[in-house]
Amino acid sequence: MARSLRNKVQHEAYYLVWLQLGIVCLIASITWIMLDINHAMAVISGGFAYGLPNLVFVWLVFRFVGAHQTSQFIAAFFAGEAFKLILSGILFVFIVKYLPVSLLSVLIGFISAIIPFWLVCIWYFMRPFSAK
So what's the pLDDT on residue 65?
67
Q: What is the pLDDT of residues 27-63, one digit of tens each?
A: 999 999 999 999 999 999 999 999 999 998 888 887 7
Contacts of 60 (CB under 8 A, 6+ apart): 76, 79, 80, 83
So what's the pLDDT on residue 66?
63
The pTM (predicted TM-score) of the whole model is: 0.82
Show the low-confidence residues of the chain (pLDDT under 70). Answer: 1-3, 5-6, 64-68, 129-132
So what's the pLDDT on residue 1?
47
